[in-house]
Amino acid sequence: MNTKQKIESLREELRQHNYNYYILDDATISDYEFDIKLKELQALEEANPEFFDANSPTQRVGGAVTKNFKTTVHDSRMYSLDNSYSKEDLLDWETRVKKMVDGEVSYICELKYDGASISLTYENGKLLRAVTRGDGVQGDEVTANVKTIHTVPLQLKGDYPERFDIRGEIVLPIEGFLKMNEERVENDEEPYKNPRNTASGSLKLQDSAEVAKRPLECLLYSIVGNNLNITSQFEGLEKARSWGFKVPQEAKLVSSIDDVLEYVEYWDEHRYNLPYEIDGVVVKVNNLYQQDELGFTAKAPRWAMAYKFKAEQVSTRLNEITYQVGRTGAITPVANLEPVQLAGTIVKRASLHNADQIEKLDIREGDEVFVEKGGEIIPKIIAVDLSMRPVNSVPTTYISKCPECDTELVRLEGEAKHYCPNYKACPPQVIGRIQHYISRKAMDIDGLGGETVALLVKEGLIHNYSDLYELTVEQVIPLERMAQKSAENLVKGIELSKQIPFERVLFALGIRYVGETVAKKLAKHYKSIDALMFASILDLVTVDEIGERIAESVVEFFNSEENRQIVERLRSFGVQLEISAEKLANQTDKLKGLSIVVSGVFETISRNDLKKLIEDNGGKVSSSISSKTSYLVAGDKMGPSKLIKAENLGISILTEKAFLSKLK
């Protein structure tokens, strides 16, 4: 056996031992013997660097240092899940599902692990990259750190696809978490708050050798990609397990919603017996064709629902009510609490939302209140313990002036919140708009953070986001914690933002009610800022999904002389204020005004590409057939009920080939 063969043989043997120990929980070799073989492989690899393999078992010990984690776009978006907190929510979801798909529906029930979401990409059986969820569209590449986790296979086995993503959760088992905290207490260090935050923080440690010391695990639950030859979620889990992934055995295939509810009840009672923390159950439609039929909303798949177990609840004292001013001028009252432990973290503050909520709860300073985390990041107060109310308690009077600039507050008819109308000079509004402009989902300006924005405004260097483009290295170096290199990176990041496409620039402008999805629709419809700027309310409400409130807000924004001047300055600096010629070349109005339903499996084009093709040509993709449907594009394995409904309503039914020909 030559050196190369010896290295390959050792790698394969160590991979198998690793799989037996960490995946099957069935060690076939002692730790000592494993370490001896690993050291032998390390010595051979160091002596023969020409045989280096980034996915060798020796790479799990870590050592790579990452100072800046690269932002990477996911091949397929990582959606969040809709949450339910009652059995009624699950029953309503099942009713919606059965209305939209044909035939019997079976479900996969999986435990909802409380960790850090991860997407692993494999190519030719080797781990290519590991990316955090981020905002769902893009995340941070943390490959070097994830390679240290033994339950992440570096080399697959079996009949795996050429390239695919597999999604899962990085978790810290409770036993490992408690052991880590024991060591920290012994060393007079602050103990970690909870397993989830510790797991998430581990992925962003700069030294992968430090990550390797932590007993992290990766539990996988979803395969994504093209030509996977998988027809159901259950089959996908079985295949993933056969390729070498750690797929939880607790997942269960059931045939009715009653079985789902039984599964939920069982794990609500037995969750504390698990080695990991869970906060609920995820229910998915098992059949992947039916999943395709159901599709997605803007934020979540229609074919899945997360059932969250009842939130932990504690009581504590409300010391003071203060008020925050947001970037749009919205006032949010905040309860400042006596610190209390809740769901693994120390809670000191909770949102009170608005004046109506304060009045509804009759909440007062000095009250004993009940606080819970019900699937929200920010804890909320759900009730007041009136039996504990002090005798001298005084009802809360909502503030009438802005706490930051002393301007008289306004509350528009139909609005829940009060607003500070001092748009131009109220500091939190000015700073907040610029912070929104530079954020990842908007202009994504590297090297510029929220604190630096606040400093720039405080020093009078910028007054609005268009001023960013005139900043020089010399101007920003004197700022606190700023050095030559960081100043250069900041200016470079601002320059690179000029390449950000129009739809994200539109979102970045911070027009009230214009979120990511609305910005995309407006950009697609109007093509340029000029066309949008002169659109009337009547014109705007004709755009798909644009209501009167959004239309009024857009018109109000561009009616402001100051906003128009800022837009003109952005134009002069080269910011993208229209859809690029390349994008325009792929868009037409051929399907304008048409509502099209896509159903079935297609041969020459994927379902998602077909939907994009419809939207790029001005059409609207609808999930269900109605009298307003223009066409039904029918693929293979389409459900019979859609076909019958289309025929009864006299809707044109096109094959994939006929539709593509029609479009040409």
Mind telling me the catalytic residues?
112
Pairing of strands 313-325, 252-254: unpaired
Q: Helix or strand or coil: residue 99?
A: helix
Reading phi first (left if > 0) and then psi (alpha if -120 to 50, else beta), residue 522 is in: alpha
Beta strands in 200-246 (DSSP E): 217-224
Instruction: Say how many C-beta atoms besides its own lie within 10 A of residue 103's C-beta.
Output: 12
Distance separating the N- and C-terminal Cα atoms of the chain = 60
HEC secondary structure over 551-591? HHHHHHHHHCHHHHHHHHHHHHHCCCCECCHHHHHCCCCCC
Strands 331-342 and 345-351: antiparallel
What is the identity of the amino acid at 99?
K
Between CA 584 and CA 589 the distance in angstroms is 11
Q: How far apart are CA 90 and CA 283, in angstroms?
A: 9
Q: How far apart (Å, rounded) are the C-alpha atoms in residues 362 and 556?
A: 35
Going along 29-142, which residue ranges are E strands?
Answer: 71-73, 83-84, 107-113, 116-123, 126-132, 138-140
**Rounded CA gap, 207 and 214, in Å?**
12
Q: Which amino acid is at 609?
A: D
Q: How far apart are CA 41 and CA 18, in angstroms?
A: 14
Around 111, how many Cα atoms within 13 Å sit in the side-chain half-sphere?
26
For residue 142, how many C-alpha atoms fall within 13 Å in the half-sphere facing its CB?
A: 29
Q: What is the DSSP letter of 600?
A: S
**Side-chain half-sphere CA neighbours of 641 within 13 A:** 12
Three-state DSSP class for residue 117:
strand
Amino acid at 310: K
In sequence order, what are the beta bridge partners of 601? 636
**Which residue blocks in 285-365 are alpha helix, DSSP H?**
288-294, 355-361
Q: Write phi, then psi, for 633 (nearest 5 degrees).
A: -90, 110
**Residue 498 three-state SS:** helix
Q: How far apart are CA 362 and CA 386, in angstroms?
A: 10
What is the rounded CA–CA span in Å between residue 453 and residue 463?
10
Residues 579/528, Cβ–Cβ less than 8 Å: yes
How many CA atoms lie less than 13 Å away from 68 in the CB half-sphere? 6
Measured over the CA atoms of residue 427, residue 429, residue 434 and residue 435, the dihedral's sign is positive
Q: Is 399 helix (H, G, I), strand (E, B) or coil?
A: coil
Strand partners, 632: 597, 653
> Which candidate, 5, 15, 62, 63, places its Cα nearest to that of 38?
15
For residue 405, give the amino acid letter. C
Which residues are CB-contacts of 64 (< 8 A; sequence separation ≥ 6)? Answer: 144, 208
Contact residues for 66 (Cβ-Cβ < 8 A; gap 6+): 142, 144, 145, 206, 208
8 A C-beta contact, residue 340 and residue 346: yes
Encoding tokens for residue 223?
């395969």
